[in-house]
Amino acid sequence: MGEIVVKRAANLPMDEQPVEIVERKGKGHPDTICDSIMDRVSIELSKEYLKRYGRIFHHNIDKGLLAAGKAKVSFGGGEIVQPMLLVFGDRATFKVNGDEIPVGEIAVDSAKKWIRENLRFVDPEKHVKYQVEIKEGAAALVDIFKRRSSEVLGANDTSASVGYAPMSSSEKLVFNLENWLNSPQFKKQFPETGEDIKIMCSRIKNKVALTIAMPLIDRYISDEDAYFKRKREVTNEIENFIKEFKAGEEWDAEIEFSLNTLDEKGRGISGLYLTVTGTSAEDGDSGQVGRGNMVNGVIPLNRPTGSEAAAGKNPVSHVGKIYNILTFRMAGEIYKKVSGIREVYVWLLSQIGVPINKPKLVAVEIVPMQSVNVESISPIIRNIIEEELSTIDKFCMDLAVGKYKVC
CATH assignment of the domain containing 215: 3.30.300.340
pLDDT score at 291? 95
Residue 247 belongs to some domain of the structure: yes
* Dihedral over alpha carbons 96, 99, 104, 109 (to 10 degrees): -110
Domain count, the chain: 1
Tell me the mean pLDDT in the region 24-44.
98
How large is the average pLDDT for residues 377-404?
Answer: 96
pLDDT digits (tens, 9 = 90+) for 277-302: 999 999 989 999 999 999 999 999 99
The DSSP bridge pattern shows strands 79-82 and 70-72 to be antiparallel
Question: Within a domain: residue 173?
Answer: yes
pLDDT score at 259:
98
The DSSP secondary-structure symbol of 149 reads S
Spatial distance between the Cα atoms of 162 and 154, rounded to a whole number of angstroms = 20
- Position 281 scores a pLDDT of 98
In three-state secondary structure terms, 13 is: coil
pTM of the model: 0.95
The parent domain of residue 226 ranges over: 15-25+169-279
pLDDT at 146 over 80: no
Q: Is residue 7 part of a domain?
A: no
In a domain, residue 269? The reply is yes
Q: For residue 370, is pLDDT > 90?
A: no
**Residue 317 within any structural domain of the chain:** no
In a domain? residue 264 = yes
Instruction: Return d(Cα 40, Cα 31) in angstroms, integer.
Output: 14
Q: Compute the half-sphere exposure of residue 332: CA atoms within 13 Å on the CB side of its CA.
A: 8
Decide if 266 is inside a domain: yes
Type and span of the H or E element at 385: helix 374-390
Residue 228 lies in a domain: yes
48 phi/psi in degrees, rounded to 5: -65, -45
Q: Is pLDDT at 148 greater than 60 in this prediction?
A: no
The percent helix, strand, coil of the chain (3-state, each to 5) is 35, 25, 35
Q: Which residues of 153-177 are buried (b: 16+ CB within 10 A; e: fewer)?
A: bbbbbebbbbbbbbbbbbbbbbbbb
Which residues on adjacent β-strands are paired with residue 21? 202
Rounded to whole angstroms, the Cα distance separating 225 from 228 reads: 5
- What is the pLDDT at residue 220? 98
Judge contact between 201 and 22, C-beta under 8 A: yes
In 10 A of CB 255, how many CB atoms?
A: 19
Nearest in space to 368 (alpha carbons), one of 328, 340, 400: 340
- Residue 81: partners with Cβ closer than 8 Å, 6 or more residues away: 69, 70, 71, 72
pLDDT above 60: residue 149: no
Q: How far apart are CA 129 and CA 294, in angstroms?
A: 27
In this prediction, residue 137 carries a pLDDT of 78
